[in-house]
């Protein structure tokens, strides 16, 4: 199937980065979100991991034809970067001997190549500068803006999200090596919290999977990617990285080779989680909001309401090699 071919192409790109010792969702671009030069729209989901680690200092990308339309061209010998998108195809058929024609909509995964403006000549593009406001202040604003954020309780031993009781436990900011590390970890747990049944109702959270299971590891990947999206948006370094890169990389290499759809599916869930935290409305989120009414809309932080009970989804737990 064509979808499987594109899944494999994307996965092979990510595997190549891991083989080089690069973890795409641990790279820090501090506000350098890849975007299309012509439309101004940012690339989303797995496309962020396909473009972000390329190492360019400019966030603008465009197709070969768009470069020509802008009065320039892609330099000879430059290689394009893969990005993917979904399109739908309607198939009409008749069920059994029924005379009624049924239309089935099939999602198709497609791809094309884009080039960074630094790979072009004669293409005019605006200068890019980082936002000047305080990134830690932006982190605070982001947390406050998460309208259905669960209670955030102090825990001196570890950071985690408890799906059963719907709260986040995290050590005080003074126990972290930096403010950036604190917010990186908090964003990780906030991403987990979006999976609660009153929010996005994500299987990795609602079905009670245990540490070491495949679904648990997938949820951890979603949370890591979600934290990376959020640290990039706020302009801080993604400081919550594993201290065992070799083992971590080997674990994900084996999982990605086993499941070619994993990276795209996890990236999509992480993007939906990020949108939810930011309050970006879309059809998916509206449908989920209609299914459940959030039980806790108190946006206060650091509630001192006693010790944690049966914590799960600890920050930075590593996938085990199969």
- Could you tell me the residue range of the domain that residue 248 belongs to? 135-314
Q: What is the pLDDT of residue 196?
A: 96
Assigned domain for 171 exists:
yes
**Bridge partners for 109 per DSSP:** 86
Which residues make Cβ contacts (< 8 Å) with residue 33, sequence separation at least 6? 42, 43, 48, 52, 59, 232, 233
> 261 with 174, same domain?
yes
Listed in sequence order, the residues at least 6 apart from 146 whose beta carbon sits closer than 8 Å to its beta carbon are 190, 277, 279, 299
d(CA 156, CA 50): 37
Domain end marker among 64, 95, 121: 121
Per-residue pLDDT of the chain (322 residues; tens, 9 = 90+): 678 999 999 999 999 999 998 888 887 655 678 999 999 999 999 999 999 888 898 999 999 999 999 999 999 999 999 999 999 888 877 666 666 777 888 889 999 999 999 999 999 999 877 666 688 999 999 999 999 999 999 998 999 999 999 999 999 999 998 999 999 999 999 999 999 999 999 998 988 777 767 888 899 999 999 999 999 888 888 766 555 667 788 888 989 999 999 999 999 999 999 999 999 864 444 444 444 333 333 334 444 333 333 334 443 333 333 2
* Residue 16 domain flag: no
Q: Are residues 163 and 275 in the same domain?
A: yes
Same domain, 185 and 103: no
Residues 149 and 281 in one domain: yes
Same domain, 258 and 164: yes
**Helix, strand, or coil (residue 126):** coil
pTM (2 d.p.): 0.82
The phi, psi pair for 9, rounded to 5°, reads: -60, -45
- φ/ψ (deg, to 5) at 259: -130, 100
Q: Please count the structural domains in the chain.
A: 2
At 241 the pLDDT is: 57
Residue 21 is assigned to a structural domain of this protein? no
Show which of 67, 89, 121 is a domain's final residue.
121
What is the spatial distance between Cα 63 and Cα 86, in angstroms, rounded to a whole number? 17
Same domain as 151, residue 53: no
Q: Identify whether residues 184 and 97 lie together within a single domain.
A: no
26 within a domain of the structure (yes/no): no
Same domain, 157 and 283: yes
Domain assignment present for residue 320? The answer is no
> Do 228 and 171 reside in the same domain of the chain?
yes
Q: Which of the listed residues 94, 121, 148 is the one where a domain comes to its end?
A: 121
* Pair 162, 213 in one domain: yes
Please report whether residue 50 resides in a domain: yes
Is residue 49 located within the same domain as residue 197? no
């Amino acid at each position: 199937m064509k979808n499987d071919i594109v899944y494999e192409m994307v996965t092979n790109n990510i595997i190549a980065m891991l083989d080089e010792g690069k973890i795409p969702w641990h790279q820090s671009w501090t506000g350098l979100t890849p975007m299309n030069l012509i439309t101004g729209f940012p690339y989303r989901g797995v496309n962020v991991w396909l473009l972000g680690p390329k190492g360019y200092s400019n966030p603008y990308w465009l197709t070969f034809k768009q470069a020509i339309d802008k009065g320039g061209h892609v330099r000879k010998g430059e290689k394009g970067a893969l990005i993917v998108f979904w399109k739908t195809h309607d198939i009409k058929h008749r069920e059994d001997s029924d005379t009624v024609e049924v239309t089935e909509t099939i999602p198709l995964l497609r791809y094309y190549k884009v080039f960074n403006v630094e790979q072009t000549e004669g293409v005019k593009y605006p200068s890019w500068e980082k936002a000047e406001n305080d990134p830690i202040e932006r982190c605070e604003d982001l947390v406050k803006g998460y309208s259905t954020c669960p209670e955030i309780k102090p825990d001196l031993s570890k950071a985690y999200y408890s799906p059963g009781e719907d709260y986040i436990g995290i050590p005080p900011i003074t126990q972290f090596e930096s403010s950036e590390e604190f917010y990186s970890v908090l964003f990780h747990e906030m991403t987990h919290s979006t999976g609660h049944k009153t929010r996005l109702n994500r299987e990795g959270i609602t079905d009670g999977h245990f540490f070491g299971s495949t679904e648990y590891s997938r949820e951890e990947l979603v949370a890591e990617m979600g934290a990376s999206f959020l640290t990039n948006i706020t302009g801080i370094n993604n400081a919550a990285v594993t201290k065992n890169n070799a083992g971590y990389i080997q674990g994900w290499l084996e999982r990605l080779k086993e499941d070619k759809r994993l990276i795209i599916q996890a990236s999509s869930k992480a993007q939906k989680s990020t949108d939810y935290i930011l309050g970006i409305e879309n059809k998916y989120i509206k449908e989920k909001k209609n299914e459940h009414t959030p039980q806790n809309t108190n946006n206060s932080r650091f509630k001192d309401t006693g010790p944690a009970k049966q914590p799960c989804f600890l920050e930075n737990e590593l996938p085990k090699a199969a």
